[in-house]
Amino acid sequence: MRLGVNIDHIATLRQARGGLEPEPVFGALIAEASGADAIVAHLREDQRHIKDKDIFLLKEVVNTRFNLEMSIAPEIIKVASKIKPDQATLVPERRRELTTEGGLDVVKRQKKIGQAVKKLEAAGIEVSLFIDPEKNQIRAAKKTGARFIELHTGAYANARTKAEENKRITELKSAVVFARGIGLKVFAGHGLNYNNVSRVAALKEIEELNIGHAIISRAVFSGLGRAVGEMKDLIK
């Protein structure tokens, strides 16, 4: 199973002081050297952490795979089509949210999302849709023409009891099997950390886990290279 490291919160630290450090691109290089299989960054419309310039630099230096999380806003699609990351992951976005709060509602927005998928693929960019582990959303994702999905693991990560955790893992497993059965490749992420990642990593049909906040948080104390290596060991 591959590990994608989200470096957004390196940029969050930088923006807290409005200066130049820490530099997200340096973080990407350290993560790759420590075993990351992909680098993930979310270019929000308000550019609250990752900026346009970060995306251009990341495209130049990332040697593994560059996965750009993004909304379907026309201006963001325009930037992505110019930069041409290896992959674009389409996510919902609200200005007031602290972090992404759920998956895309592909059922309700299938036409617009499908148009975005078509534009990005025409630019040579592979497209993944970040969705909740629900069969109706998976079916709709398939109809957009996307070949990849990333299952939102937030409900599992936020489970308060063992019974709820077991229920959420069962839902994830069912969603993964269903998605693979209709020809989609499956990634997963959101809220995963060093204490809860193992049960999701045990779902072998998932090809990649994308994790950011937990890795950057641990890096404050242990260093980024060690934090990435420890997560990589856990998902193996």
Residues catalogued as catalytic: 42, 69, 190
CA–CA separation, 62 vs 25, rounded Å?
8
DSSP string, 142-200: HHTT--EEEEE-HHHHT--SHHHHHHHHHHHHHHHHHHHHTT-EEEEESS--TTTHHHH
Question: For the chain, how long is the longest CA-to-CA vector?
Answer: 48
Which are the contacts of 179, defined by CB distance < 8 A and separation ≥ 6?
A: 138, 149, 151, 186
